[in-house]
Structure 1
Amino acid sequence: MQIRKAAVIGSGVMGSGIAAHLANAGIPCLLLDIVPGELTAQEAAKGLTPEHPSVRNRLADQAVERLKKTKPSPLYDEAFAGRITPGNLEDHLPLLAEVDWVIEVIVEKPEAKKQLLSRIEKHWKPGTIVSTNTSGISIEAMSADCGEAFRRHFMGTHFFNPPRYMKLLELIPGRQTDPELVTGMKHFCERKLGKGVVLAKDTPNFIANRIGTYGLLVTLQEMQKQSFTVEDVDAVTGPAMGRPKSATFRTLDLVGLDTFVHVAGNVAEQAVDEDEKARFTVPEVLQTMVGKGWLGEKGGQGFYLKRKGADGSEILSLNLATLEYGKPGKPAAASLEAAKLAKGAGAKTKALLQGRDRYAVFAWSVLKPVLVYAAAKLGEIADTIREIDDAMKWGFNWELGPFELWDAIGLAESVQRMEAEGTAVPAWVKAWIASGHMSFYREQDGRMFYVNAGAYRGVEEVPELISLDALRKRKQVVLSNQGASLLDLGDGVACLEFHSPNNAIGADILTMIQRSLEEVRRQYDGLVIANQGRNFCVGANLMILLMEAQDEEWEEIDSIIRLFQHTMLQLKRFEKPVVAAPHRMTLGGGVEACMPADRVVAAAETYYGLVEAGVGLIPAGGGCKELALRASRSAAGPEADIQPWINRAFETVGMAKVSTSAHDAFGLGLLQEGDRVVAGLDLLIHEAKQSVRGLVQGGYEPIPERKIRVAGAEGKAVLQLGAYGLHRGGYISDHDLKIAGKLAHVLAGGDVAAGSLVTERYLLDLEREAFLSLCGEPKTQARMQHMLAKGKALRN
């Protein structure tokens, strides 16, 4: 399926967010909204008339401008806003004939949506896909008055908010939707938009909101019944149950209480079953809060309130009985502590439920009905348990879906407990257990199977979706130690996977890189450096470095840095292609592990930066050297001015800048021409592997070492002058100035003459010397300690 241009109708938060993500994917997009009813004071002052285009397009124009200012940004790069063309529904509907996909994102009112679809159909070009982003209105009812050909091309595409960051997209076909178009759209949204797509039935709230809203309402009802506080509930329903830190009430504050009440009302109004209708009835306290405008973050207060006090900001929690805010308590119990100590979402939940205190009782009282409800709705809201599990993981950020979690806590044992307590368990679950099955999922030879229609069905294997965990289980590990492994990806390509805590680089990873290069030299055509951890790599092992510095083991630190530098040079000089595939947090040494690669194929959501200044250091694994080399290469010709390129590198490293996306990393000079960006994580390793194959087939030859032209003493003085100005202005501390001086010395190539040609090893020596001297500084050690303790930089 080829979608070359799209149109989004409705420029509110959701509509503009969807338009932004289409722009992120390189798809030009129309953004249309209604014509305003009257002039603003500013428009009148300019002498504009209601017929002026800037007036008629005002709503969409303002939406595009907001996209550039919103944080976190809906755009990978602010420049991508140029791919969005604002317009209005009176003048620009005929332009719909030029697009391949129209997405309706207007107010959640059935009649308004029906009227808009009628207008769209008048300008509809046969073959164009039309979809609605409704969060729960019937697809069939909405399109009932449209022609048959139009309905064949109509479906629901429910993006989760914010569209850039939330993985889930629920695809909802109508009864007449062409199945081939559904398959094509699923493929397109997964590959081009980086989405996790589930097929949902045309029922109220579809899958994720149906299960998620039910669970939140159950939690509220049980909270009131068992006299729990807001902070009590969040302590149980967050990471202790394999769910996000936002748990229940921070999640509701983020979503907006008015939005939540509306979504719950969808089911309450349409439910036939009286028990279900009662479960979806919003508690009176929520209605009161909405009436007061306490909507959560967008209303300035909700279940939590952030208030500035004499000692700084403090977070207060709401007492639902008195509707007054107070300092939150700190829940503590044996069951919560047991969950904290357990590893993995399943083990945490199991440990929590095995407790005997009130928190364990509460956890069971809110989890049990959700598991039963999910099982009861199978077939009604989705055809398979996988769609339900994936929807909850991708839409609500649960670590395990309900059926995966049920397996983790013990399917047979938990059902036995439910029935002993008088809970009605769906017949198909009991029949499954009675037939001798102890879990909904089963793994065999690295392949996953799940229950479907009374039998295990294998998960469809898609070649592009490479799972390193599955490869490991299929005995594809070639080499391994505590920090990293080398796996066989097939087709002559190996993958070096980091798996140390936080994927921090230490001696074990560096040793495995060296061993991997020897193995690839013998057995493979090329190497991918990738992993599927939460983050690619957060840098070097800071704890070990701090301990060595405090013990004044300078020779040991020197040895560690020499090993890092030597290993990165081996990667850079390797005679076969190397492709790095970073994702999410890729910081410090993580960036330096990518810089020697022939190509970087990065996930779009990659936050990439040389952040060593934040802990009082400079990059010393080749990061400074590589930036100096790139500056030399960018300033083509012996007479070209290298200073602007060095200035940019100095600012990027000195300010510890981190890209807001992989696209942004190009602007920082950390990614370069030839590197690529992939929309989603699922395809990242496949794309990196294909890049290796492409380099091999193109007759790969390693780039020979060339000398680096440096800015020298003159360039160093320019950098130092800039830093001095910031210091005089109070923007940086004394210690920042000292770090900047060391960084300037390395990036400029030391005290040699401007334009001098130096070797890579010369610059590496400068890096190492500067790094060692900074390690001995008490303020640097204080920064390292603060980072390890607080997880954020100290600017001392």
Structure 2
Amino acid sequence: MGAAIAAHLANVGLSVRLLDIVPSELTKEEAAKGLTLESPAVRNRFAQNGLNAAKKAKPASFYRAADAAKIELGNFEDDLAKIADCDWVIEAVVENLAIKQSLFERVEKFASKDAIVSSNTSGISIAEMVKDRSPEFKGRFLGTHFFNPPRYMQLLELVPGPDTDPSIIEEMKTFGGRVLGKGVVLAKDTPNFIANRIGTYGLLVTLEAMKKFELGVDEVDAITGPAMGRPKSATFRTLDLVGLDTFFHVAKNVGQNVTEDWEKAAFEVPAYIEKMLENRWLGEKTGQGFFKRVKSAAGAEIMALDLDSFEYRPRKKLKSASLDASKAAKGSAAKLQALVYGKDAAGQFAWDVLKRVLLYTANKQSEIADDIVAVDNAMKWGFNWDLGPYETWDAIGVAQSVERMRAEGETIPSFVEELLTSGHSSFYARAKGEVPRFYVGKDEFRGVEEPKEVISLARLKEQGKVIKQNAGASLVDLGDGVACLEFHSPKQAIGADIIQMIDVATKEVSANWQALVIGNQASNFCVGANLMMMLMEAQDENWDELNMTVHQFQQSAMKLKYLDKPVVAAPFAMALGGGAEMCFPADHVQAAAESYIGLVEVGVGLIPGGGGNKEVLIRAIEGVPDGVDTRLDPFVQKAFENVAMAKVSTSARDAQDLGYLRKTDGVTANRDFLLYDAKQAALGLVQAGYTPKQQKPIPVVGESGAALLKIGVFGMKTAGYVSSHDVKIAHKLIHVLTGGSVTRGTLVSEQYLLDLEREAFLSLVGEPKTQARMQHMLTTGKPLRN
């Protein structure tokens, strides 16, 4: 965990020292090399192993491999004095209070008097760790609980001790949100803080309910996933991913540190978990846990553990009317209502689990956090719930659910009783266009605090800030003369509505606005063009219609590129195919750090059709100085490989290395701040005296350059790596990227390349094997190799 935290700190540009303990004995490999216990490679072995694990981690711990160079390795014996020049010292050693106390005694001797010192503990008392340290040290000490994996999990729990300087808490809130990209929650110094306290309780009551309702682990996962607003990994797949040893430790820690007998009993782990620990069935890390992947004649199959026989069996599909109703419902609230008020076993099970989690949360509210917003955010950011506990209560109806709880003999926490007796029916009050207010007790509501960097498109639209709109997109006023082009078609897929709105937006912004931002706040920026529409047109042989659609798409991108006002794109998550092509024309891209950008059309038997080939080529060769007699082939080859191999960036920084983004483009660690940063970048271009781009001729490598690329494709075909249809696609791509039937060094226009691209795209979409690939992707979500 320490190495994974170090990796994320390096991701955001910080220099990091990673220290670990010194080994007490040599490994066989070290002895064979003639190393001794005094050899630096041996003394730094554990730190090196941690870094190696971070480098190999899947999903990747680093934004890009080069970021690992920002980490300097060492050990506690030789290098602890080096923390003197560190601004922040993070402890992430074994969860043992005595060991932590001993380490902090040593840290105090070397750390700067201005350094912030923190523990990444998941639940040990912050006050106890430093009870024997000086007042000055205690004032700079707090808990900083990252969730695993630190790069991807949004939650950062800040846990002040009784003596922590409030100004340090404020500093770390800002730093955690802005620099580290985290959702920061303030937690109280109680066992396992907020998210692990509630999350672990929820997992344990799920195990108890499973026994009560006589369900299997696979059946429970069918109920406790998306239907309940939880991740697809649900309960038991989540436990396998986390590791049963980790879960056992967290549950044990709460049980040992709470005082009431009923709560100690609630955190007792079932005997079968202990048996699994004895068997080393820890989950993903040991290859088996509640689930196990086995090879069969039909291929790999996932088997589920039968907790009665302790044998693995094929997974069962749960049939349930309430589950079906939940799947058919739209939105998290409607899905939950359909499930928990269902009359069948799945509905009863979901209600039993949810009821107990909600009651426990409300019982512990004042103990674990200052307000309900912290609790809701902790569960959304730390456990990936769609709705926090109090948002969930609002979704299923507080009065209705409490009435049912009373009827079932439950004691309702006073915090909830106060809400209802004061005449309120929900924990949140949402007025149209305003920041939500939340219940704080005794008939009082308070506005949710948001950083100034948060822009909500939904609230702006409620405030009447829509400039233009249609079914697929809207133009929204962000303020200060900046408009935002928001895609809101299904999956933000580009179709006729979005193309039309781009035309409207460019005219409107040119006439009345200072700048344009392209961005939205959906799950993904844009997953590409409307594949279903293209396939249907091709199967109906509507070639003129397809040609016109692709031409309009290309021209929309050109209108964005040569608009007389600055354009900033704000991609995040998936920006694939047409999504990438909407970013390429922008004057500046302000990308979320977690941006997965790429041209993936070859996966469905096509090449990009919206100008992507042209833009990748321009980016590849634009670093070559004008007037220098340099062969462009290596640069064109890079562009070819990016598109032909459908390379998708693993982060925004990786997108810069691939050439999809320029080094001058910006990266925002916290996606919640992305639109704000994009708006500021647009205003910066305005204030700098924006000059619209001018078209320039593009040098191409022509037929001789194409021949070189085709040799490589021939080698791949001969070696059996690609099919004949792959070769056909590659040759079409080469024809476009090299400029067609011209000689090396010919200067061509952007429109010339767009015409080549459109012709190649249309010829491929007419191919039966391409249509088969498109159909397979639409049906299965997976590529077909034919």
For the aligned pair, the TM-score class normalised by the smaller chain equals over 0.9
Conserved 8 A contact 2:578-2:610:
yes
Aligned with 1:51 (options 38, 42, 53): 38
Q: Does 1:157 align with 2:147?
A: no
What is the TM-score with the length of structure 2 in the denominator?
Answer: 0.99
Conserved 8 A contact 1:155-1:172:
yes
What stretches of structure 1 of length at least 5 have no aligned partner? 1-13
Shift, 1:628, TM fit: 2.2
Conserved 8 A contact 1:152-1:177:
yes
Q: Does 1:504 align with 2:517?
A: no
Q: How does 1:683-702 map to 2 (within 5 A)?
A: 683-702=673-692
Task: Output one character per residue of 1:490-548: Cα deviation in whole Å (capped at 9) or x when no partner.
Answer: 11111111111000000100111111111112221000000110000000000000111
Q: Does 1:143 align with 2:130?
A: yes
Q: How does 1:226-375 map to 2 (within 5 A)?
A: 226-375=213-362
Shift, 1:634, TM fit: 2.3
Q: Secondary structure, in 3 states, of the residue corresponding to 1:378? A: helix
Shift, 1:268, TM fit: 1.0
Shift, 1:460, TM fit: 2.1
Task: Output one character per residue of 1:21-42: Cα deviation in whole Å (capped at 9) or x when no partner.
Answer: 0000101000001111122233
Q: Does 1:92 align with 2:82?
A: no
Aligned with 2:716 (options 703, 723, 726): 726
Q: Does 1:63 align with 2:53?
A: no
Conserved 8 A contact 2:589-2:665:
yes
Structure 1 equivalent of residue 631 of structure 2: 641
Structure 2 equivalent of residue 779 of structure 1: 769
Structure 2 equivalent of residue 418 of structure 1: 405
Structure 2 counterpart of 1:431, which letter? E
Structure 2 counterpart of 1:143, which letter? V
Structure 1 equivalent of residue 666 of structure 2: 676
Distance 1:628 1:126 in 2: 53
Shift, 1:472, TM fit: 1.3
Structure 2 equivalent of residue 565 of structure 1: 554
Percentage of identical aligned residues = 57
Aligned with 1:111 (options 98, 101, 110): 98
Q: How does 1:595-744 map to 2 (within 5 A)?
A: 595-638=584-627, 639-744=629-734
Structure 2 equivalent of residue 169 of structure 1: 156
Structure 1 counterpart of 2:456, which letter? S
Shift, 1:570, TM fit: 0.5
Q: Does 1:525 align with 2:514?
A: yes
Distance 1:734 1:68 in 2: 36
Q: Does 1:542 align with 2:518?
A: no
Q: Secondary structure, in 3 states, of the residue corresponding to 1:268? A: helix
Shift, 1:46, TM fit: 2.6
RMSD (CA atoms): 0.9
Distance 1:404 1:355 in 2: 20
Distance 1:272 1:510 in 2: 62
Aligned with 2:437 (options 416, 432, 449): 449
Structure 1 counterpart of 2:176, which letter? C
Structure 2 equivalent of residue 4 of structure 1: none
Q: 438-447 or 132-141, which moves further after superposition?
A: 438-447
Structure 2 equivalent of residue 575 of structure 1: 564
Compared CA separation, residues 110 and 315, structure 1 to 2 (3 A): same
Shift, 1:470, TM fit: 1.3
Distance 1:648 1:461 in 2: 43
Conserved 8 A contact 1:628-1:710:
no
Structure 1 counterpart of 2:20, which letter? D
Shift, 1:50, TM fit: 1.9
Task: Output one character per residue of 1:335-385: Cα deviation in whole Å (capped at 9) or x when no partner.
Answer: 000000011111101011222111111111000010111111111000100
Q: How does 1:15-30 map to 2 (within 5 A)?
A: 15-30=2-17
Q: 650-659 or 351-360, which moves further after superposition?
A: 351-360
Conserved 8 A contact 1:632-1:710:
no
Distance 2:99 2:679 in 1: 48
Shift, 1:594, TM fit: 0.5
Structure 2 equivalent of residue 182 of structure 1: 169
What is the TM-score with the length of structure 1 in the denominator?
Answer: 0.97
Task: Output one character per residue of 1:71-114: Cα deviation in whole Å (capped at 9) or x when no partner.
Answer: 21100010000000000101101111100000000000110000
Distance 2:50 2:339 in 1: 45
Distance 2:318 2:701 in 1: 58
Shift, 1:44, TM fit: 2.4
Distance 2:218 2:33 in 1: 52
Aligned with 1:460 (options 440, 445, 449): 449
Task: Output one character per residue of 1:98-153: Cα deviation in whole Å (capped at 9) or x when no partner.
Answer: 00000000000110000000010111211100000000100011111111100000
Q: Does 1:769 align with 2:740?
A: no
Conserved 8 A contact 2:702-2:738:
yes
Conserved 8 A contact 1:502-1:537:
yes
Task: Output one character per residue of 1:148-205: Cα deviation in whole Å (capped at 9) or x when no partner.
Answer: 1000000000000000010001000000000000010011010000000100000001
Shift, 1:463, TM fit: 2.2
Distance 2:462 2:453 in 1: 18
Shift, 1:653, TM fit: 0.3
Distance 1:178 1:33 in 2: 28
Q: Secondary structure, in 3 states, of the residue corresponding to 1:103? A: strand
Q: Secondary structure, in 3 states, of the residue corresponding to 1:330? A: coil
Distance 1:199 1:134 in 2: 15
Distance 2:689 2:511 in 1: 18
Q: Secondary structure, in 3 states, of the residue corresponding to 2:625? A: coil
Aligned with 2:471 (options 482, 485, 494): 482
Shift, 1:618, TM fit: 0.4
Q: 269-278 or 405-414, which moves further after superposition?
A: 269-278
Distance 1:478 1:651 in 2: 41
Distance 1:120 1:107 in 2: 16
Structure 2 counterpart of 1:635, which letter? V
Q: Secondary structure, in 3 states, of the residue corresponding to 1:346? A: helix
Structure 1 equivalent of residue 121 of structure 2: 134
Q: Does 1:584 align with 2:573?
A: yes
Aligned with 2:67 (options 63, 74, 80): 80
What stretches of structure 2 of length at least 5 have no aligned partner? none
Shift, 1:58, TM fit: 1.5
